[in-house]
A and B are shown apart, each in its own frame.
Chain A
Amino acid sequence: MNYITVDRVVFSYRRNETLFDGLSVAFSLGEQVAIIGRNGSGKTTLVKLIAGMLRPQRGRILINNETITRKSIAEIATQVGFVFQNPNFMLFTNSVEKELALSLQHFKLSKQEVKERIDETLAFFDLTNYRLTNPRTLSRGEKQKVALATVLIQDPKAIILDEPFSGIDMSQKLMILQYIQKLKQQDKLIILITHSLDLLLTACTKIVALQNGQIAYDLPLKEFFADLTHLLKIGLEPTDYLSFITFLRKKGLQKDAIEKEEIIAFLLECALK
């Protein structure tokens, strides 16, 4: 069943220039969706509409079958967790610990429970040493991790991550991906917006591709990447990894093999021939 429904939404920032002219898309619990598209294609705008930070000029948005028209941003945030592209907009207090405590405020947890959850989260994100540090003095990647932690600590049923990896090194990106995989088993909805195409291959099962304010594709991930012309049609050039896979397909690699382990297995076959 759909958890988030965007129904024929019309939206423009400026007069005479419509960004979304009747955009419809739906997301269900249990899905891991990547939204991709060129810079300026409207990914963040879509997220802000779902978060209630922008309001559609026509059409409606439903979360859990209720229209969000009259809901406040704070109410919506209890149903969907949002990690925004710029962590500076998400950090308000003068210590990492307070930042996390603030995001647990509306949960009615005991002091002990709050402490435990904060300890756990700091440890997971490798931020324990920064507990009392002012987030403003953190490095960019550390800030991004704190922003992520403030949302993930709430264990939301649905979560929308807008470029959550920027500024974070690859090994920590993978760690966050693992966390996302862990959420997967609990029938949650994860929507990931990223330009790191290689990363979403392991994190997602579905691709929603935006182009010129329209949904150009809404396909299972393997189907989308089975044919690289899908990417090219929305103006995105393949990464070297994807180009390599395309090359290997001509050598006999299965069309739906995209994960690293599958590629290595195929290469091993080649090497031993």
Chain B
Amino acid sequence: MIELRNVSFTYAGSNRRVLQNLSLEIARGESVGIIGPTGSGKSTLCYLFNGLIPHHFSGKFQGEVLVSERNVMKETIESMSQIVGYMLQEPSLQIASPFVESEITFGMENFAVPVDKMDKRLNEIIAELGLEHLRYRATADLSEGEKQKVVLASILAMDPSILVLDESSSMVDSTSKNDLVKILTALKKQQRTLIIIDHDLDFLAKIVDRVILINNGSIIIDGATDSVLTNNRLLIKNGLIPPIFPDLFDIFQEKKLLDDPLPLSLESARKIVQKWLP
């Protein structure tokens, strides 16, 4: 469904190759987390999925990008946005409408969704994200976290078959973050393709099945979430801190006090303690 073949990219005006000969495949319905230190190329990589590179960011591009059998080079950003819902890391740049309600329906209107269907979807999404109190507000007057949620709502409203979220949870409070986990998990069950960049590895661990670690524009590892996010050595070597439970229990594995694999979820961490103290 998404295929990158030997992709390299250098931003115009820079002499550093930000993506270095990347190849990867993401199948329909997969949920993939993209992680890596600050400046490693995560956002740049995702710009390929809806044609922001090369259509918006100019530079030196090599390789081939196929999304839903389309060659992204030959498409426009508009045509790609029919398939790919994309949340930029700077959501304020993405707000197109003066009011929250019209912002959420903006995309649907562009895709000529019938009015009754649009209203239904609007109400659903507002309820799911808990945005009732913001419905009639001006988008310019929102708090940063509120903005992030409204942009997310406008993207989810379009029911994209591929969803790319770049740090969509960085400004939302802990309660909304849990809501987000529920919403994304539900989308996963509907076989949507999810590509999520997030520095919060604990958040990612709850959603995605596969994790790709990027550093200096290259793929360091690409594997199952359980194995990548508990690979403390590799994460640290690449400038990252392991998620909370692998980090807490690391020393127990080292001291051979742990028969089980390193826990990644709250549930598995509890189970280990229960075994120690029944």
Residue positions of A touching B, CB distance < 8 A: 13, 37-40, 44, 85-86, 88, 137-142, 145, 163, 166-172, 174, 195, 197-198, 235-241, 243-244, 247-248, 251, 260, 263-264, 267-268, 270-273
How many angstroms from the CA of A195 to the CA of B145 in the assembled complex? 10
Contact call A13/B149, Cβ cutoff below 8 A: no
**B112 located at the interface, meaning its Cβ lies under 8 Å from any Cβ of chain A in the complex:** no
Interface Cβ pair total, 8 Å cutoff: 136
- Excluding A39-B145, A167-B167, A171-B239, 16 further A-B contacts by CB distance (< 8 Å) are A39-B149, A88-B90, A142-B39, A168-B38, A169-B37, A169-B199, A169-B239, A170-B199, A171-B236, A237-B178, A240-B244, A240-B265, A251-B277, A260-B247, A271-B257, A272-B257
**B11 located at the interface, meaning its Cβ lies under 8 Å from any Cβ of chain A in the complex:** yes
Contact call B39/A141, Cβ cutoff below 8 A: yes
- A contact residues around B52 at 8 Å (CB): none
Known A-B contacts A141-B38, A271-B276; the reply to A38 vs B167 at CB < 8 A is no
Q: Which residues from 110 to 165 on chain B have a C-beta closer than 8 Å to any C-beta of chain A?
A: 134, 141-146, 149
- A contact residues around B247 at 8 Å (CB): 260
**B175 located at the interface, meaning its Cβ lies under 8 Å from any Cβ of chain A in the complex:** yes
Q: Which A-B residue pairs are the 4 nearest by beta carbons?
A: A39-B145, A141-B38, A170-B241, A166-B170
Selected A-B contacts with CB under 8 Å, 25 pairs? A13-B141, A39-B173, A40-B142, A40-B143, A40-B145, A85-B171, A138-B39, A140-B43, A145-B38, A163-B144, A166-B170, A167-B89, A167-B199, A168-B38, A170-B240, A235-B175, A239-B174, A239-B202, A244-B270, A263-B248, A268-B257, A270-B273, A271-B252, A271-B257, A271-B258
**B232 located at the interface, meaning its Cβ lies under 8 Å from any Cβ of chain A in the complex:** no
How many angstroms from the CA of A236 to the CA of B177 in the assembled complex? 10
Contact call B239/A237, Cβ cutoff below 8 A: no
How many angstroms from the CA of A197 to the CA of B170 in the assembled complex? 13
Residue positions of B touching A, CB distance < 8 A: 11, 13-14, 36-39, 43, 89-90, 92, 134, 141-146, 149, 167, 170-178, 199, 201-202, 236, 239-241, 244-245, 247-249, 251-252, 257-258, 265-266, 269-270, 273, 276-277
- B contact residues around A244 at 8 Å (CB): 244-245, 248, 266, 269-270
Query: Per a CB cutoff under 8 Å, which of B43, B174, B241 touches A197?
Result: B174
Contact call B241/A174, Cβ cutoff below 8 A: yes
The residue in A40, A142, A264 that gathers the most chain B C-beta atoms within 10 A of its C-beta is A40
Q: In the complex, what's the smallest C-beta–C-beta distance from A40 to chain B, in angstroms?
A: 5
Contact call A167/B276, Cβ cutoff below 8 A: no
Q: In the complex, what's the smallest C-beta–C-beta distance from B11 to chain A, in angstroms?
A: 7
Q: In the complex, what's the smallest C-beta–C-beta distance from B260 to chain A, in angstroms?
A: 12
How many angstroms from the CA of A169 to the CA of B240 in the assembled complex? 7
- B contact residues around A197 at 8 Å (CB): 174
- A contact residues around B201 at 8 Å (CB): 170
How many angstroms from the CA of A103 to the CA of B11 in the assembled complex? 28
Query: Per a CB cutoff under 8 Å, which of A85, A171, A241 touches B240?
Result: A171
- A contact residues around B143 at 8 Å (CB): 39-40, 44
- A contact residues around B252 at 8 Å (CB): 267-268, 271
Query: Per a CB cutoff under 8 Å, which of A38, A163, A264, A267 touches B273?
Result: A267
Known A-B contacts A140-B167, A167-B89, A169-B38; the reply to A195 vs B244 at CB < 8 A is no
Contact call A38/B173, Cβ cutoff below 8 A: yes
